[in-house]
Amino acid sequence: MYGIQQQNKIIIIVLQTVAKMKFMNEIFFKLLDPPGPPEIVGYTEGETVRSGQDVRLECVSRGGNPLATVVWYRNEVKIDHTYETSGRESRNVYAFRAEPGDNNARFRCEASNALSVAPMKAEVTLTVHCKYLLTSYWSVLTIFIHSNT
């Protein structure tokens, strides 16, 4: 018995002698690998987004056999579990229009496969500026002050 390693496979060739005839059997084993750590593309921590602006967060995990499943969470709530694979990577794109409620929201993506003991994670906290929220606040404050005097 001897083994040959090929791309993501180990071929073990078993030679058997039965009634002085040689038979060769190949047994294929698939090598399993954990996925690479996820990476968030499309937003950098500390960057400012305006309310109403379109945001596109991409989570990419490279490698792994099988390739990773990639899931998005917003403030600990699962928001998107759709992902695509291409070549040696998995990708989940979450696109949305930023709203005032997204300010300080924590977006986390997790990548895992059958070998993962726990999912690998990447996180960003979104900073959303909302000019109308501040303007409305000052208008209400000004009306309140004038009505009390």
Domain range summary for the chain, segments of one domain joined by +: 1-31, 39-132
Asked if residue 109 lies in contact with residue 71, where contact means CB atoms within 8 angstroms, the answer is yes
**Between 147 and 127, the higher pLDDT residue:** 127
Give the DSSP letter of residue 144.
H
For the full predicted model, state whether its pTM sits above 0.75.
no
Give the DSSP letter of residue 82.
-
pLDDT tens digits, one per residue of 31-58:
889 999 999 999 999 999 999 999 999 9
pLDDT level of residue 82 (50, 70, 90 thresholds): very high
Give the pairing type, strands 127-129 and 48-50.
parallel
Confidence check: pLDDT of 107 > 60: yes
Asked if residue 113 lies in contact with residue 67, where contact means CB atoms within 8 angstroms, the answer is yes
Measure CA 9 to chain center. 27
Beta-ladder partners of 112: 69
Under CATH, to which class is 39-132 assigned? mainly beta
Name residue 31's amino acid.
L
Is 24 buried (19+), middle (13-18) or exposed (0-12) by CB count in 10 A? exposed
Euclidean distance between CA atoms 97 and 28, whole angstroms: 48
pLDDT tens digits, one per residue of 129-141:
986 544 555 555 4
What is the mean pLDDT of the segment spanning 106-125?
96
- Residue 77: half-sphere exposure toward Cβ, Cα within 13 Å: 4
